[in-house]
Structure 1
Amino acid sequence: MNPKTDSQTVRVKLGPRSYDIDIASDQLAACARSVERWAQDREVSARQAFIVTDANVHKPHAAAVMQSLQDANWETHLAKVPAGETSKSLTVVAGLYDQLVDIQAGRQTLVIAVGGGVVGDLAGFVAATYTRGVPFVQVPTTLLAQVDSSVGGKVGINHAQGKNLIGAFHQPLGVFIDTSLLDTLPERDYRSGLAEVIKYGVILDEEFFAYLEQNVEGLNQRAPEVLRHVIARSCELKAQVVAADEYERTGLRAVLNYGHTFAHAYEALCGYGELTHGEAVAIGMVDAAQLAEWRGQVDGSLAQRQIALTEAVGLPTRLPEGCELKQDDVIARMKLDKKTVAGQLRFVLPTRLGHVEVFTDVDEADVRRVLSS
């Protein structure tokens, strides 16, 4: 893809598992060109594709991907799962395994996920485990999936006792992102994805944060040229973190959890569905910036700029009415966070715009001060 036109490519550098993220607008009907390039590069010659999607995006998005592959003489099979988090289950996985067996899928059968984060996680887990691993391609259809979950190779399903407790690292052959797919995304879902975009600016790139501030109108209007740049830069930034800590062994990847310690507690305690993940992250990032300010790590301008940008793109900066939470409940939930060690709260906090660190010495009293503000 040519970065001088209306498309560009981001490379995720992981040695022999390296792959491209192709970003374009109004090019879904030609996605087979990218798929064929990736398959050839990795010597995948079977030309059999198993497309996993859900009821929300089967038509027109998954149908367009299937047609593109059929036009390129691929044998295609479509598996449609129910929309929503409940599809990330062993029951649904078993049904997909059965379908793969029925079509006599082999180790070169290509699994293609067309959908949001749930479909990507689910299809990726199936690809990671069927015959101990088959090739996999992501076609994310939500902004959140395009800038976050489709990049990095984390795949998985849920257990009754927790989200994503069963999973693997399975890098795709490539990721195909078409910004025009966002035209049909509901407003609330679109804005939720912008929270993760803002996060990348705060944690890794001050100039990118400034670009977002300067292009609020384009973000709100879903302007293709703005979206291509925003998605590409977000993917580049996440790819850098993933390349440095692919399997989450060094702790470097923890910076991606900025705002999430607050957010996960809010999501759970307000009741799943009251807040979208992106809305909870937006609020959590504001609280994390406030915490950093009160600890003397940053001045007040960082939190104010973050609040201004968050509100400008239509995201909340405070919990909604009707979601009044007890501080003790929030603190208790935070202590269940995966970053917590031996009950000690750990937070990803900024030391300046564009840089964050993990802190293990956060005083619970400071957290309570944030929660009471």
Structure 2
Amino acid sequence: MQLQPIKQSFQVQYDYQLYFTSGLFTLENPLFVNLIAAYKDFEPVKLLFVLDDGVKKHHPALVNQIQDYCKEHKQIIKYTNTLVLPGGEQVKNSDEAIESVLKGVNENKICRHSFVVVIGGGAVIDMVGYAAAIAHRGVKLIRIPTTVLSQNDSAVGVKNSVNAFKKKNFLGTFAPPFAIINDSNFLETLEQRDWISGISEAIKVALIKDKTFFKYIADNATTLKNREMEPMQYVIYKCAEMHMHHIAQGGDPFESGSSRPLDFGHWAAHKMEYMTNYELRHGEAVAKGIALDVTYAQLTGLISEEDLQHILDVMNTIGFDLSLPVESPVEVQSLLDGIEEFREHLGGQLTITLISDLGVKHDVHTIDMELMSQAITKLNHQFALN
């Protein structure tokens, strides 16, 4: 008897929402408790909080506020503990940090009907999301991002990751959060470089998807640099909206194909982060990566010199340092090696997203290494002396 293959297919519906507020854990703000109650209102839901130590430093009363808020709503929320862990990209290099979260899940008996609530920048959110996704094959996660970059990009997607083997995001999962909550109060205490850094992700999506949005960023470059909250809130909202729309409508939320338009500028960014031992913020590296790729696009004839200079001027006005951290031929080659490492990480055919006009993406599958070297030289010649 010959047995025929058994085939099966199924679909899973994912739903998650991004909320906007200020003063999330003030007693008069009902957003958080209502969100938990909407999940399960017949018994208290157990919560484990994980807090970025940089956020704790700038908001020293936050842990007490969280405890008071949970106590006020104890019929809905069962507070267990708040773990405080280091922030920044280095936390994604640390097995210790992952173990701390997993230990917290275990010791506080966080199950798949409980929540891990992470409050911090993109790196902490990435790491905690990975730990939550592998604990019990996935416990529910609420993300509360506290930087511009995490509020408009990294925390609004479906990816979680840590670094391994000297490669960024080598270990990771696709696991959508239960919800994301953007609290604008956290932005007020950011260092200037962190305020600016996340704007690069907005520039990224604007350049590949929306010329009008890029014009808004260009027209507001100075006010964004000067920390005016209204234009920044619009940039965060629009960037997050476009990011989430791409995930839902792009037909490839778990990135099984080769094209990754939301990784525009990222092949070089990831490599430069590693080359600088992560002294570069991710958003700072993305700005440099975008600057390099648009310079290459101009050298290949995809965009005009006028458009190139306009893009670079906008980023420069916002405050980005667009010089590349490479000087010697060995460093240049190391940066160029990032192209193949990028392909290896994503799998499939090499696909690098460039632009052929403002707001128009253009994928290429080969890179002229000599021309890319010229782009590095051209960009550094323009900005290294500034």
Where 1:78 maps in the other structure, the secondary structure is strand
Q: CA deviation at 1:353?
A: 0.8
1:256 to 243, 246, 262: 262
Q: What is the root-mean-square deviation of aligned Cα atoms in Å?
A: 2.6
Aligned to 1:79: 83
Answer with 122-131 or 167-176: which moved more.
122-131
Whole-Å Cα distance in 1 between the matches of residues 166 and 349 of structure 2?
22
Whole-Å Cα distance in 1 between the matches of residues 178 and 201 of structure 2?
24
Where 2:287 maps in the other structure, the secondary structure is helix
Aligned to 2:212: 207
1:226-270, CA deviations, whole angstroms, 9 ceiling, x for partnerless residues? 222111101011112211221011334x1111112222333333x
Contact 1:23 1:228 in 2 (8 A): no
Whole-Å Cα distance in 1 between the matches of residues 336 and 165 of structure 2?
23
Where 2:354 maps in the other structure, the secondary structure is strand
Q: CA deviation at 1:273?
A: 4.0
Aligned to 2:13: 16
Q: CA deviation at 1:117?
A: 1.1
Aligned to 1:69: 70
Whole-Å Cα distance in 2 between the matches of residues 161 and 273 of structure 1?
11
Q: Which of the pair has more CA radius of gyration?
A: 2
Q: CA deviation at 1:135?
A: 1.3
Q: Where does structure 2 lack aligned partners over 5 or more consecutive residues?
A: 1-10, 379-386
Q: Does the C-alpha gap of structure 1 residues 313 and 61 become closer, same or farther in structure 2, counting only changes over 3 Å?
A: farther
Q: CA deviation at 1:200?
A: 1.7
Q: Which runs of structure 2 are paired with 1:34-183 in the superposition (5 Å)?
A: 34-43=31-40, 46-58=44-56, 59-61=60-62, 63-73=64-74, 74-76=77-79, 77-88=81-92, 89-183=94-188
Of all paired residues, the percent bearing the same amino acid is: 26
Instruction: Provide the TM-score with structure 1 as the length reference.
Output: 0.86
Whole-Å Cα distance in 2 between the matches of residues 207 and 261 of structure 1?
26
Contact 1:52 1:81 in 2 (8 A): yes
Answer with 232-241 or 286-295: which moved more.
286-295
Q: CA deviation at 1:349?
A: 0.4
Q: CA deviation at 1:99?
A: 2.3
1:36-67, CA deviations, whole angstroms, 9 ceiling, x for partnerless residues? 34334444754211000122112344554444
Q: Does the C-alpha gap of structure 1 residues 53 and 193 become closer, same or farther in structure 2, counting only changes over 3 Å?
A: same
Whole-Å Cα distance in 2 between the matches of residues 344 and 132 of structure 1?
31
Aligned to 1:324: 327
Q: CA deviation at 1:140?
A: 0.4
Whole-Å Cα distance in 2 between the matches of residues 40 and 296 of structure 1?
56
Contact 1:344 1:360 in 2 (8 A): yes
Answer with 337-346 or 286-295: which moved more.
337-346
What letter is aligned with 2:54? Answer: N
Q: Where does structure 1 lack aligned partners over 5 or more consecutive residues?
A: 1-13
Q: CA deviation at 1:371?
A: 1.8
Whole-Å Cα distance in 1 between the matches of residues 25 and 227 of structure 2?
17
What letter is aligned with 1:87? Answer: V
Contact 2:87 2:120 in 1 (8 A): no
What letter is aligned with 1:79? Answer: L
Aligned to 1:9: none
Q: Does the C-alpha gap of structure 1 residues 221 and 204 become closer, same or farther in structure 2, counting only changes over 3 Å?
A: same
What letter is aligned with 2:261? Answer: V
Where 2:311 maps in the other structure, the secondary structure is helix
Whole-Å Cα distance in 2 between the matches of residues 372 and 19 of structure 1?
44
Instruction: Provide the TM-score with structure 2 as the length reference.
Output: 0.84
